[in-house]
Chain A
Amino acid sequence: NAGVTQTPKFQVLKTGQSMTLQCAQDMNHNSMYWYRQDPGMGLRLIYYSASEGTTDKGEVPNGYNVSRLNKREFSLRLESAAPSQTSVYFCASRADRDQETQYFGPGTRLLVL
């Protein structure tokens, strides 16, 4: 049972480059989330998707875009990477409102030079 998977595991970008972080879940969950983790900051919500076809901004959405491609997949795109976006990115999913537990992927470590 794969749960939540993320690709790539690690990426180095130059300032101004673009890239897409991929996330997929095989638990048939409705809601999916993208968080970033910075040292000493805990995790902060970037974007979320309550269901296929819907997306909403979280606490720190600037500089990111998302796509909920289907129920399984939720991607995060950096159009023009900046050093401030150096972080570890986690994708998570949750079944529905009555089951609040979010399950996390292994994370993507991104370094922007």
Chain B
Amino acid sequence: AQKVTQAQTEISVVEKEDVTLDCVYETRDTTYYLFWYKQPPSGELVFLIRRNSFDEQNEISGRYSWNFQKSTSSFNFTITASQVVDSAVYFCALSDLYSGGGADGLTFGKGTHLIIQP
């Protein structure tokens, strides 16, 4: 069965600090996708990144970077030089293509509440 674990329930840092959000996943499939979504205080879910299981290259987008390591089943998210606007709940999610009759949806972690203090 699929499972996504975000062990950090809440993280609080001071603005301009770097912060890493951890995500560990479990799947039996060799083909799968990993995602990060942001949920700001306004409540909507904003797509940040998708990574497929065959692409282990790290990705950088501005102050955001993602580290995908299949060997440890982790897909961690780092924000460099954090800003108050980064304050949100961040969700890691997993989708596999061949779930053997399982539901065709995303399996979400429970989220990490990130608080950036000015």
Check A59–B103 contact: CB distance below 8 A. Answer: yes
Number of interface residues of B (CB under 8 A): 23
Q: CB of B64 within 8 A of chain A?
A: no
Q: How large is the interface on A (under 10, 10 to 19, 20 to 34, 35 or more residues)?
A: 20 to 34
Partner of A43, one of B33, B52, B91: B91
**Residues A42 and B50 in contact, CB atoms below 8 Å apart:** no
> Known: A42-B110, A42-B111, A107-B43. Is A100-B103 also a contact (CB below 8 A)?
no
Q: Give residues of chain A (30-45) contacting chain B, Cβ–Cβ below 8 Å.
A: 31, 33, 35, 40-45
With beta carbons under 8 angstroms apart, the residue of B50, B103, B111 that contacts A45 is B103
A-contact bits for B72-114, CB 8 A (1 contact / 0 none): 0000000000000000000101010100000111101111000
The verdict on A50 contacting chain B, using a C-beta distance below 8 Å, is yes
Residue of A nearest to B106 (CB): A102
Which of A43, A56, A106 makes the CB contact (< 8 A) with B106? A43
Q: In the assembled complex, which residues on chain B have CB atoms less than 8 Å from the CB atom of A40?
A: 9, 110
